[in-house]
Amino acid sequence: MFGLIGWGGLTTGAYYMMAIEGEATEKMLKAYRKLVIVEIISLFALAISGIFMWIELGMPDWVYPAFALAPVLAVGEWYHYKIAHSTDFLKKMRFVSIFYTIIAVFLIYDMVFKP
């Protein structure tokens, strides 16, 4: 759960704070970029702990959709890191935020209901 919070929670909160303020100053973006690095590290921790849990649970089939999302999330993080250095960050991040929300809801659904 810490990996999920570190992956989605930190930057989501920071992004919404900037979106509510309606501005992303260079000082805010500099701090946000550091959070993106923490987010990437958390995503790796989430993936590694997920692999170990999958092995411990006997490699159940319901985990495969989450594995399929790993390359999608890697590309998403690359793009996220890139737009964190962009001048129109708030505009571009709006779509990334929606994308991450959908992915997080799916991953939680997959983990809880194990379809």
The tens place of each residue's pLDDT in the chain, 115 residues long, gives: 666 666 777 888 888 889 999 888 899 999 999 999 988 888 888 888 889 989 999 999 888 888 888 888 889 889 999 999 988 899 999 888 888 888 888 888 887 887 6
Give the C-alpha separation, 9 to 63, whole Å: 22
pTM given for the model: 0.79
